[in-house]
C-alpha cells in the first residue's frame, strides 16, 4: 500500500480540517506612528500605505482596527527635532505627544489595548536608544530615564509598556518603578531578543531616528546568535516580563521556535518595517502577489510559535481574512 499524503489535500474542506496553524485578526497588533497636529496624514516613502498620523487620525484607525477584530495597537511618536535632546527630556513630559495619544485612544476606544514604546531613540538628538556619554551608550544611567518614560506612559493609560532599547536589567528596573508608582496592572512586553538588523531602515525614516553616530551593535544582538537570544529571554522572564518578543520576525523564525519551547509566557514577534517594505516593493512591481505573500509570511510566523504579531499589515491582513470566510 502506498502512502498518499495528497489524500488529505484533495478538497478545500479537507484542507481546512488538516490546517495545523491559524492566523486570526486577534493574533495581530497594529503599529502606528503618531505625529503632531490635527488632520495630519503624511505618507512614509519607504512604507507605502503607512502614514505619520495626528492623534485624531490615530483614534479613527484604532476604531477601525478594533472593528476588524484587532485587539491592540503599538504607538511610536514622531518627535520634532526641536524637542529632541541628548537626555530625551521630552519623553518625561506628561503632556507629550505619545501621552496625549494614549489618553485619547483609551478615552475614545476603551476596549482597544494600547501598547507604548519605551526607548530613548525617538526623543534623542543622538538617535540612540540609550544615553550617550563620550561616544558610549551607557547602560545604568539610561535606566532611570526609561523608568520615568514608562511611568509617564502608564499614567496616561497604557495597558502594556514595551521596552525596545535592549539595555541590561531594564525589565526589573521598569517593573519596580511601575509597581512603586501604583501601576501593578500595567504589563511589560519586552523586546527581549532584538537583533541589530538592516530591516529597521524604513522605521528610522518614519521617525527620523537613525543614529547620528555609530550603530546599535553594542546593545542590539548579533544576527549570528541563537543561544544569546535564549539568555536574553530567560533573563527578561526572571526580571518580570509578561510577554517576550523577537524582532525582526521572518529572518528569525528559528529564534521564535526555540524561545516558544523554552518559556511559558506568551511570545510576540515583530514583522518590522523592512519586511513590510520588501513585500510592498515586490508587489508594486508585479513581481509577487502582495496579499498572498503577506498572509503566508504572517502564517509562517505563527507556525514558528508566535502567539501575537506586530505588523504594519495588520489591517490589510484582517480585511483579507474577513473576505476569505
Ligand atoms: C527603536 C525601535 C526600532 C524599531 C522599533 N523600536 C528601530 C531601531 O532599533 O532602530 C523598529 C521597528 C521597525 O523597523 O518596524 N527603539
Instruction: State the Cα–Cα distance between residues 127 and 224, nearest whole angstrom.
Output: 24
E strand map for the chain: 28-35, 41-43, 51-54, 72-77, 113-118, 131-133, 136-138, 160-163, 187-194, 243-247, 267-271, 308-311
User: What pLDDT digit, counting tens, does each position of 250-293 carry?
Assistant: 999 999 999 999 999 999 999 999 999 999 999 999 999 999 99
Residues with CB under 6 A from ligand 1: 117, 119, 121, 129, 164-165, 200, 203-204, 216, 272-273
79-93 average pLDDT score: 97
Instruction: State the Cα–Cα distance between residues 312 and 200, nearest whole angstrom.
Output: 13
12 lies in a domain?
Answer: no
Range of the domain at 43: 23-324
User: What pLDDT digit, counting tens, does each position of 20-59 carry?
Assistant: 999 999 999 999 999 999 999 999 999 999 999 999 999 9
User: What pLDDT digit, counting tens, does each position of 1-20 carry?
Assistant: 999 999 999 999 999 999 99
Ligand 1 atom having least distance to the Cα of 211: 10
Query: CATH no. for residue 239?
Result: 3.20.20.70
CB count within 10 Å of CB 110 equals: 10
294-304 average pLDDT score: 98
What count of Cα atoms within 13 Å lies in the side-chain half-sphere of residue 230?
10
* Residues with active-site annotation: 194, 247
| Residue located via cell numbers 537626555 | 87
242 lies in a domain?
Answer: yes
Distance 13 CA to ligand 1 centre (A): 41
5 lies in a domain?
Answer: no
10 lies in a domain?
Answer: no
16 lies in a domain?
Answer: no
Q: How many domains does the chain have?
A: 1
105 lies in a domain?
Answer: yes
70 lies in a domain?
Answer: yes
9 lies in a domain?
Answer: no
pTM: 0.97
Amino acid at each position: 500500500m502506498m502512502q498518499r499524503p495528497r489524500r488529505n489535500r484533495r478538497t478545500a474542506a479537507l484542507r481546512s480540517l488538516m490546517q495545523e496553524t491559524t492566523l486570526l485578526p486577534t493574533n495581530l497588533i497594529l503599529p502606528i506612528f503618531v505625529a503632531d497636529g490635527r488632520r495630519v496624514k503624511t505618507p512614509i516613502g519607504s512604507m507605502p500605505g503607512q502614514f505619520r498620523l495626528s492623534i485624531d487620525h490615530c483614534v479613527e484607525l484604532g476604531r477601525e482596527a478594533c472593528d476588524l477584530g484587532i485587539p491592540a495597537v503599538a504607538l511610536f511618536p514622531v518627535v520634532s527635532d526641536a524637542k529632541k535632546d541628548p537626555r530625551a527630556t521630552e519623553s518625561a513630559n506628561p503632556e507629550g505627544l505619545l501621552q496625549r495619544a494614549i489618553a485619547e485612544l483609551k478615552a475614545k476606544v476603551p476596549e482597544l489595548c494600547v501598547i507604548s514604546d519605551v526607548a530613548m531613540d525617538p526623543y534623542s538628538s543622538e538617535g540612540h536608544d540609550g544615553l550617550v556619554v563620550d561616544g558610549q551608550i551607557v547602560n545604568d544611567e539610561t535606566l532611570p530615564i526609561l523608568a520615568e518614560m514608562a511611568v509617564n506612559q502608564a499614567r496616561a493609560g497604557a495597558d502594556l509598556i514595551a521596552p525596545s532599547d535592549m539595555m541590561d536589567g531594564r525589565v526589573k528596573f521598569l517593573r519596580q518603578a511601575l509597581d512603586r508608582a501604583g501601576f501593578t496592572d500595567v504589563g511589560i512586553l519586552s523586546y527581549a531578543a532584538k537583533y541589530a538588523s538592516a530591516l529597521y531602515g524604513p522605521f528610522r525614516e518614519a521617525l527620523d531616528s537613525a543614529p547620528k553616530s555609530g550603530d546599535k551593535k553594542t546593545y542590539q544582538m548579533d544576527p549570528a546568535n541563537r543561544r544569546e537570544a535564549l539568555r536574553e529571554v530567560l533573563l527578561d522572564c526572571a526580571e518580570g516580563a509578561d510577554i517576550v518578543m523577537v524582532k525582526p520576525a521572518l529572518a528569525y523564525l528559528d529564534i521564535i521556535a526555540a524561545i516558544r519551547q523554552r518559556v511559558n509566557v506568551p511570545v510576540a514577534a515583530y514583522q518590522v518595517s523592512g519586511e513590510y517594505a520588501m513585500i510592498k516593493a515586490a508587489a508594486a512591481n508585479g513581481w509577487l502577489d502582495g496579499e498572498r505573500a503577506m498572509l503566508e509570511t504572517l502564517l509562517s510566523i505563527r507556525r514558528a510559535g508566535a502567539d501575537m504579531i506586530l505588523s504594519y499589515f495588520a489591517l490589510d491582513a484582517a480585511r483579507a481574512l474577513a473576505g476569505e470566510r
